[in-house]
């Protein structure tokens, strides 16, 4: 079952709001999919419109940074079994994970891709142990180490991460994240500020609560 990207983030602070009015970035959304093993997959996207974009140009994503949990726990599941310093799993999408397992793994991307080739996502120093932690550390970020056409925004949005959770741990969780992007063929970065996203979406949480209440009434 696929749930469309219906939750749009809210700007945090006046600076983010004013940048939003002039630069194209409109916030984060997420897609939700129930996987064949019962786990829940979330894809988080940065969304853009054409505001401020010159004709014939495109938005180019550069990096995400200062990812910080606001409330709840990410509860990310890793499928790649990459191990270092006692930690299992890595946020690098192409490391030690087969194509068949990639939908069941948690990872970040700076090019909208999650294949082991054709993408150059690098983790910044905010990730400890080379990124081998269950959840993203507060303050961590990632960037495109090989800038090019792969990180050009297509279809109005750029995939930034995939988070997989077990159904039992699919509880409300909110995080802040900042991004940097630019107009193609330019060198001036645009930083709209920190924005929030929540998974599951608030509406989904409310509906789940109502479903539970209805179930108790039937019993």
pLDDT of 27 higher than 80: yes
Q: In a 3-state reduction of DSSP, which class is residue 50?
A: coil
CA distance 35 to 145: 31
103 vs 45, residue with greater confidence: 45
**50, 79, 82, 107, 126 from 89: Cα distances, Å:** 37, 7, 5, 9, 16
Per-residue pLDDT tens over the stretch 142-179: 998 877 677 889 889 999 999 999 999 999 999 999 99
Query: Confidence band (pLDDT; 50, 70, 90) for 20?
Result: very low
Q: Which residue has the higher pLDDT, 149 or 18?
A: 149
SS3 71: strand
Q: What is the mean pLDDT of the chain?
A: 78
Please tell me the predicted confidence (pLDDT) of residue 118.
45
Give residue-wise pLDDT tens across range 98-148: 777 788 889 999 888 776 554 578 889 888 766 667 789 899 999 988 776
Q: What is the pTM of this model?
A: 0.80
In 56-193, which ranges are E strands? 59-71, 83-84, 87-88, 107-108, 121-123, 140-144, 157-165, 173-183
Q: Name which of 21-35, 77-91, 182-196 the model is least confident about.
A: 77-91
Number of domains in the chain: 1
What pLDDT does residue 79 have? 81
Question: Domain limits at 41?
Answer: 2-218
């Amino acid at each position: 079952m696929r749930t469309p990207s219906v939750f749009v983030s809210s700007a945090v602070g006046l600076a983010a709001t004013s940048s939003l009015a002039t630069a194209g970035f409109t916030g984060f959304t997420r897609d939700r999919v129930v996987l064949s093993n019962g786990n829940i997959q979330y894809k988080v996207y940065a969304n853009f419109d054409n505001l401020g974009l010159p004709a014939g140009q495109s938005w180019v994503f550069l990096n995400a940074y200062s990812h910080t949990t606001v409330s709840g726990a990410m509860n990310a599941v890793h499928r790649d079994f990459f191990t270092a310093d006692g930690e299992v799993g890595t946020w690098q999408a192409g490391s030690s994970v087969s194509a068949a397992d990639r939908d069941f793994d948690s990872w970040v991307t700076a090019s909208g891709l999650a294949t082991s080739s054709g993408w150059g996502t690098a983790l910044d120093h905010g990730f400890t142990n080379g990124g081998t932690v269950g959840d993203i550390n507060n303050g961590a970020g990632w960037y495109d180490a090989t800038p090019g056409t792969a990180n050009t925004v297509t279809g109005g949005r750029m995939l930034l991460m995939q988070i997989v959770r077990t159904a039992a741990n699919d509880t409300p969780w909110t995080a802040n994240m900042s991004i940097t992007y630019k107009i193609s063929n330019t060198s001036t970065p645009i930083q709209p500020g920190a924005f929030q996203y929540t998974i599951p979406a608030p509406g989904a949480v409310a509906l789940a609560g109502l479903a539970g209440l209805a179930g108790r009434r039937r019993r």
